[in-house]
Amino acid sequence: MPTRYLFITGGVVSSLGKGIVTASLSLLLQRRGLKVVPLKFDPYLNVDPGTMNPYQHGEVYVTEDGAETDLDLGHYERFLHQNMHRENNVTAGQVYYDLIRKERAGKFLGKTVQVVPHLTREIQERIRRLARDGVAVVIVEVGGTVGDIESLPFLEAIRQFHLEIGKDNALFVHLTLVPYLGTAEELKTKPTQHSVMKLREIGIQPDFILCRSEKHLPKSVREKIALFTNVPMQHVFEIPYVGTIYEVPLVLHKQGVDQAIADLWHLPGEPDLADWTDLVKRIKHPRHEVTVALAGKYVHMKDTYKSVYEALTHAAAQLRLRVHLRRVDTQRVEREGAEPYLRDVDAVLVPGGFGKRGVEGMIQVARYAREHGLPYLGLCLGMQVAVIEFARHVVGWADAHSTEFDPQTPHPVIVLLPEQKGVRQIGGTLRLGGYEARVFPGTLLHRLYGADRIVERHRHRYEFNPGVREVLEQAGLKVAAESVQGGLVEAIELPGHPFFVAVQYHPEFKSRPLEPHPLFVGFLKAAQEYHDKRYPLLAEA
Ligand code: GLN
C-alpha cells in the first residue's frame, strides 16, 4: 500500500484546536491498525521554540531525543501513545537555515535560490522523510492560519506535493470557525467561505471542512458551507465544544469523519475505541474530589504547563478523581505567605521554570508542605527549590541558594556543573531529553515506579550540587534516584513525610491517558488520603 498523506490547515482564527484534531484523526486511523506519523509545521523563523518565553509560545515540549518542540507534539504523543522525534516538528527557521547552509556549501552554484522551488522542495523533503518503515499515513498539521504571509511557503509546498502524489493518496482537511451571533441568533458561515476562498486562491481545494462551533450545525448551514466551499455536504463536519479534549476523537468518529477518509482511501475495518470510550467516561464521571495547588510563575497562562495539567488528568481518570486546580502565583506568596493559599488544599505541585521571579515564594510553598505533611510534587525547578528550602531550614544554611538566582551564595546547593561525559548539551548548556536513571530500592520513588531503571526527560541547566549531597542526606533528605551516567541527583524525597517527592526531570512529558505516570498517580492518591483526613466523614460516605 502506498503511503497516504493527510494535510490539516486552519482558517479564520488561531487556537481552534488544530493540534487536537490532528491528534484525534491520527488516533482514529491508528486504531484501524495503520501506522500513522504526524508532522507539525511551524511557520515562524525561530529554529525551535526553546528560546521563546511562555507568553509567546506556551509550553515547550521535550521529546525523548532531546528536541524542544511545539506543544502539539505532546498531544500527538498522548493520543497515539507513541514517541515523537526531532523530525516530527519542522519550523520555517529550520528549513531556511538548512537551505542557506546548502547555498553556502555551493550546492546551488550558478542558480538563483528561491522560495519556489528550492524552499518548497526542502519542505516536501521533510514530509517524504517520514514515509518509511511501513508508515501508512503521514498527517501534516500546518501551523498558523490560512492567509498569513508566513504559512504561504508551506501551503505552496503541500499544494505541489498533492499534485505530485495524486488526489487518491493525499487529502486536505480544513478546520474553521462558525461563530454564533447572539444578536442575529444565527450561525455565520461567511468566515468559513472566506478562508476557503483564500485556500483555493493558492490552489488548494479542501476535501473536508471541520467546523468548530458552539452550536450544532443544522443541515441548512452545512448545505450553505458545502455550496460555497465546493465540498460535498457529507464532508462538512462539526466539532462541538466538549468537556475533555479526549472526547474529540469520539465525536469525530460518531459523525463518520474517519469512515469518510477510509472510504476515499479504500481502507478496510473499523477503529477499536473501547478503551478510549472508557477513558472519557472515567474523566467525565469522577467519584471523589481533591484540590491541588499549582504554585508557579505562569499559572495564569493556559498553555504554559500543558503537560502537567494533562498528566494530572490522566492520573485522575485512573483514580476516578475530579481535580480542582488552584493556581497559586508564587509572587503573591512572597507578599502574603503560603498559608492563605495552601491551608485548604490537598496537595501542592511546583512545576519547572527559569528565572528568579517567584522563586522565594516557591521556597515558602515547599517549606509549608514539608512542615504540614502536605503532599508535594516538585518538577525540575520544583525540586531545586525543595533542596534550597531543606538546606536553609533543616540544615541551617540560611543563605543557601541556587547559583542561578544568587551567584555569590556561600552555600550553593544547586549549581552549574562542568560538561558531563555522555550528557547532551544543546545551545551550549541545557541538559535535554531522555536520560537513564537508577532508582534506589527502599524509596517511595522505587515503590511508585516498581522499577530499578527509568528513562525520563530533562530540560534544565542547573544540578543538585554533588558537594553538599552528604550533608543534606545526613540531615534527612533522601536521594531516591541518580543518573546512570555521571551520578547526578535525579530525585529526592523526605522519609517520614506522607508524600514529598521532587525530581530533576519532567515526568509530565511521559504521561499518557491510558498509561498515567506513576508519580502523578502516587501524588493524587496522597492528595486523596490527605483530603480524607481533613474530611473524615466524607471519606466514610
Ligand atoms: N531553571 C532551572 C535550571 O535551569 C530549572 C529548569 C526547569 O525547571 N525546567 O536548571
Q: How far apart are CA 81 and CA 299, in angstroms?
A: 27
Q: Are 5 and 126 in contact (CB under 8 A)?
A: no
Return d(Cα 337, Cα 331) in angstroms, integer.
10
Q: CB within 8 A of 155, min separation 6: which ones?
A: 9, 142, 146, 199, 202, 204
Q: Which of 198, 93, 27 is nearest to 6 (CA)?
A: 27
- Separation of CA 455 and ligand 1 centre (Å): 18
Atom index in ligand 1 nearest the CA of residue 463 equals 10
Per-residue pLDDT of the chain (541 residues; tens, 9 = 90+): 889 999 999 988 877 899 999 999 999 999 999 999 999 999 999 888 888 877 777 899 999 999 999 999 999 999 999 999 999 999 999 999 999 999 999 999 889 999 999 999 999 999 999 999 999 999 999 999 998 999 999 999 999 999 999 889 999 999 999 999 888 888 999 999 999 999 999 999 999 999 999 999 999 999 999 999 999 999 999 998 898 999 999 999 999 999 999 999 999 889 999 999 999 999 999 999 999 999 998 888 878 899 999 999 999 999 999 999 999 999 999 999 999 999 999 999 999 999 899 999 999 999 999 999 999 999 999 999 999 999 999 999 999 999 999 999 999 999 988 765 555 544 447 899 999 999 999 999 999 999 999 999 999 999 999 999 999 999 999 999 999 999 999 999 999 999 999 999 999 999 999 999 999 999 999 999 999 988 876 666 5
352 C-alpha to center of ligand 1: Å? 6
Q: Which of 415, 360, 409 is nearest to 389 (CA)?
A: 360
Whether the CB of 462 sits within 6 Å of ligand 1: yes
Contact 351, 291 (CB under 8 A): no
Cell output for 305: 504547563
Provide the pLDDT for residue 426: 46
Containing H/E element for 88? none
Which of these, 378, 321, 363, lies nearest to 508 by C-alpha position? 378
In this structure, which residue's CA is closest to atom 1 in ligand 1? 354
Q: Which of 128, 241, 235 is nearest to 178 (CA)?
A: 241
Q: For residue 339, what pLDDT is reported?
A: 96
Residues facing 176 on adjacent strands: 211
Residue from 310, 244, 257, 304 nearest 78 by CA: 310
Backbone torsion region of residue 162, taken as left when φ is above 0, otherwise alpha when ψ lies between -120 and 50, otherwise beta: alpha
**353 Cβ below 6 A of ligand 1:** yes
Q: Are strands 478-483 and 463-464 parallel, antiparallel or unpaired?
A: unpaired
Distance from the CA of 390 to the center of ligand 1, in angstroms?
A: 18
Find out whether the beta carbon of 359 lies less than 6 Å from any atom of ligand 1: no
Kindly list the distances between the CA atom of residue 221 and the CA atoms of 180, 198, 238, 263, in Å, as whole numbers in the listed order: 12, 20, 11, 24
Give dist(CA 173, CA 22) in Å, integer: 10
DSSP assignment of 365-398: HHHHHHHHT--EEEETHHHHHHHHHHIIIII--T
3-state SS of 237-286? EEEECCCCHHHHHHHHHHHCHHHHHHHHHCCCCCCCCHHHHHHHHHHHCC
- 506 Cα nearest atom in ligand 1: 9
Does the beta carbon of 50 lie inside 6 Å of ligand 1? no
User: What is the per-residue pLDDT for 219?
Assistant: 94
Grid coordinates of 261: 477518509
User: Could you tell me what percent of the chain has a pLDDT over 70?
Assistant: 97
pLDDT recorded at residue 461: 92
Q: Is the CB of 459 under 6 A from ligand 1?
A: yes
Quick one: pLDDT at residue 50?
84
509 lines ligand 1 (CB under 6 A): no
Q: Is 285 exposed, middle or buried (0-12, 13-18, 19+ CB in 10 A)?
A: exposed
The Cα–Cα gap between 5 and 161 comes to 9
Going by CA atoms, what residue is nearest to atom 6 of ligand 1?
460
For cell 541558594, the residue is 401
380 is catalytic: yes
| Closest approach atom of ligand 1 to CA 352 | 8
Q: How many angstroms is it from 533 CA to the middle of ligand 1? A: 34
Per-residue model confidence (pLDDT) at position 421: 53
Is residue 97 lining ligand 1, measured as CB closer than 6 Å? no
Specify whether 508 is catalytic. yes
Predicted confidence at residue 536, as pLDDT, reads 77
| CA-380 nearest atom, ligand 1 | 8
What is the rounded distance in angstroms from the CA atom of residue 344 to the CA atom of residue 531? 9
The answer to whether 287 touches 320, Cβ cutoff 8 Å, is: yes
Q: How far away, in angstroms, is 12 Cα from ligand 1 center?
A: 37
Which domains, and CATH codes, for the chain? 4-278 (3.40.50.300), 286-537 (3.40.50.880)
Question: C-alpha distances in angstroms, 396 versus 378, 390, 392?
Answer: 21, 8, 5
**Is 401 among the catalytic positions?**
no
pLDDT at residue number 303: 86
pLDDT digits (tens, 9 = 90+) for 306-358: 999 999 999 999 999 999 999 999 999 999 999 999 999 999 999 999 989 99
Q: Residue 351: CB within 6 Å of ligand 1?
A: no
CB 170 within 8 A of CB 2: no
**One-letter amino acid identity for 141?**
E
The verdict on whether omega for the bond into residue 117 sits within 30 degrees of 0, i.e. cis, is yes
Nearest atom in ligand 1 to 382's CA: 8
Q: Is the CB of 357 under 6 A from ligand 1?
A: no
DSSP labels, 417-445: PPPPTT--EETTTEEEEEEEEEEPTTSHH
Q: How far is the CA of 424 from the centre of ligand 1 (A)?
A: 16
